[in-house]
Chains A and B, each alone.
Chain A
């Protein structure tokens, strides 16, 4: 740079020199000097333009020669011209570019304007449509709401397609849970739809109601047919009630007629199953003959009838269970009665075979005791089975009651027959005045009856009821028999015989319960005969002691007869003689016993008679003593006549 500057400065100085030829300083105001001055004053360092110019000049001004200096101006002008030309050329391009841009912008502007116009036009055109659309949207919304309402209405008041299908298919297929759900829906709709009747939708309400009613009826009918068929199939011995069937009964309870018919069908099916089972048990028994057929035991009436009744008890209990399973969901009133009624119906079929067999047993006259046991057994099972069936009218219970009555009647018949046979051929009392064979035999019958009665399966109160009848049925004829057979006996014999017979009856009865009253009666009767025997024994003693005459004189003596001692046979000597006899008796009173007393079966009774008759003797002696010691009766030394005081006699005899 410095080099260039130096050079330039040199050049300039040269130039100036050449341009000013001499008198520089003198002529300061001549143009040249001014020019020079000006040049000299020029501060080249700061003049950028000048520097640039000089720099450019250095590019083409290579050779500093005169020629080149002369041509410099031309060169520069030429150069300037070419640069300008260049500029023009380039600028022309720019101008052209600019013009094309301008054109584009213009076109765009036109385009925009056109589009704006079009938009404007479109806007004007669609205004209508938008209004319409808005309207339609509003409409749409309203419709949607209505549709929802309608949907809600439908789902509330109409069945779904699936539900409808379920109800329809029930005609052919089995009933399922879904069926009951659909049926419940129908019922609910029918109920709910009543709300509509209170609004202005009455027509719809009525229509739906009718529709539901129809649906309900057909559904119930299908359900009924299905349930009926199901029940009809329940004829196996095992009978497991499926859950659906219980549900069906629950639903059918709303239609009492269908409900009842279904139960009837069930009853009929079970009835035939029970009859078949019963007949099988009677005639075929179990597998390979175990258990053996019940009829195998027909020779043993108690076992035979007992097995039949036990079988029926078990069957009845099972059937009741089936019914409980069938009706477990039924809530109407009187379900228990329904069940009892149906069990009654079910067990109706076995009545005939049962009756025929029991009748056979009864009619075969198995004897009073067996008849009695049978009647008790029948009563027991009547009681047991009515615990299951209830007390409502049931053929089975009626049959059992009938058989009970029959066996009881036959029992009493048999007793009466026995009694009348006894009376037909009255047996005379045996010489020992003991019980006759027919008495012993009848009493052993009574004993057997009472024993079976005591071990009876019946509760106490029921047992007591027909007890009196049994007793009188046997005892009354027996008593009569004894009286009749004793009628030709002497007093003491008769009394002894009667006491013995009554005593046997009493000891027989004493072993059993509920006999207190009868025992008391027998006791009274015995006592009556005892009195006789006591008197007889006392008389016997007085007779043997030869005091009979004396005693009767004492008893019958009246004042008009005068003193006793004057009466015939009543003098002191006679009395003394009698006293010798009496003394002998006092020494050993046991020897003076009526022979009959030794026939008495009861030692206690014998003792009692002995004791009481002795007392009578004492009393008689006392009376005689009193009469003899009475001065009025004219005995001289009464103490020597009756030398023993009544006290002495009493002491000796006790």
Chain B
């Protein structure tokens, strides 16, 4: 019997941002628990969720930080962009104001993350077609102009929720393959683990080769 020595080979850090009430926590909950929370309280500060997914045959652990959209937490949540490999920027397709605020969220995301942080725009509550206030085409264009991935999703029905997280992961993985993402550096938002088990030996030099040139 051979149990895999490791549960996953990469960790990607994600952050979910966007106005309050757009459904950030619901998206996370749907992704990690496959359930919809009808009465979700406002997030206080920042919450945390994880799930292991597979990207191109590699096990990847997503470590997801769900931020509060309420204005009073803005200063606090800004500290969590640091070192995120992926950012899910969410608006509510039934509330135009949440779409209008995207540029401010995008500014924060650009200023506070790495240049190669993958940002995906998500139009949530796609199930409420009758109340739609932002067209797909319009948001798509905004995404293209800003070089963002884009999907409309519904935390309620689960539609595209899985894809939203996966698409971003695929892009990050691609960046790793390209070499545009430096794995060995701390706080790149991505952590890679050696695939060889280290055995039961006492190792005094068990540190990752972090000292890679950074100048």
Contact = CB atoms under 8 A, between A and B. Distances in A.
Interface centre among A235, A236, A309 (most CB of B within 10 A): A236
Contact of A380 (B76, B187, B198): B76
B75 A235 contact: no
B57 interface: no
Interface in A422-446: none
A287 B44 contact: no
Interface in A332-353: none
Identify whether the interface residues of B are mostly helix, strand, loop, or mixed.
loop
Contacts of B199: 174
B202 to A, nearest CB: 5
B3 to A, nearest CB: 5
A139 interface: no
A589 interface: no
A281 B186 contact: yes
Contacts of B191: 237-238
Identify whether the interface residues of A are mostly helix, strand, loop, or mixed.
helix
Interface stretch (A51-59, A224-232, A628-636): A224-232
A275 B79 CA distance: 19
B83 interface: yes
B3 A243 contact: yes
Nearest to A318: B63
Interface in A232-271: 232-238, 240-244
Nearest to A313: B46
Contact of A310 (B44, B63, B80, B198): B80
Interface string A437-465: 00000000000000000111101000000
A175 interface: yes
A595 interface: no
A404 to B, nearest CB: 15
Interface stretch (B17-25, B112-120, B141-149, B171-179): B112-120
A566 B207 CA distance: 113
Given A177-B1, A233-B198, A314-B65, A240 B6 contact: yes
A289 B5 CA distance: 33
B208 A236 contact: yes
Nearest to B182: A287
B38 interface: no
Nearest to B192: A238
A325 B50 CA distance: 12
A238 B79 contact: no
A490 interface: no
Contacts of B201: 229
A377 B192 contact: no
Nearest to A308: B79
Contacts of A302: 75
A240 B59 CA distance: 12
Contacts of A226: 200
A459 B44 contact: yes
A196 interface: no
A504 B108 CA distance: 38
A234 B193 CA distance: 12
B132 interface: no
Given A242-B197, A303-B79, A321-B50, A291 B186 contact: no
Nearest to A236: B208
A103 to B, nearest CB: 84
Given A302-B75, A303-B79, A457-B72, A240 B7 contact: yes
Contacts of A321: 50
A286 interface: yes
A291 B82 contact: yes
Given A286-B114, A286-B188, A238 B11 contact: yes
Given A242-B6, A455-B71, A459-B44, A310 B187 contact: no
A342 to B, nearest CB: 18
Nearest to B1: A177
A304 to B, nearest CB: 10
Contacts of B1: 176-178
Nearest to B50: A321
Contacts of B80: 310, 314
A127 interface: no
Contacts of B114: 286-287, 290-291
B48 A317 contact: yes
Given A174-B199, A287-B185, A291-B114, A310 B6 contact: no
Contacts of A235: 206-207
B78 interface: yes
Nearest to A456: B72
B8 interface: yes
A293 to B, nearest CB: 10
Interface string B81-101: 111000000000000000000
11 contacts: A233-B202, A237-B186, A238-B192, A240-B8, A240-B61, A280-B210, A310-B80, A310-B82, A377-B76, A380-B76, A457-B72
Sort A-B residue pairs by CB-CB distance and give the 7 closest, nearest first. Answer: A287-B185, A310-B79, A286-B187, A238-B191, A455-B72, A287-B182, A174-B200
Given A310-B80, A313-B46, 17 more contacts: A232-B202, A233-B198, A235-B207, A237-B186, A238-B192, A240-B6, A240-B7, A242-B197, A285-B187, A290-B113, A291-B82, A291-B83, A307-B79, A310-B82, A314-B48, A380-B45, A457-B45
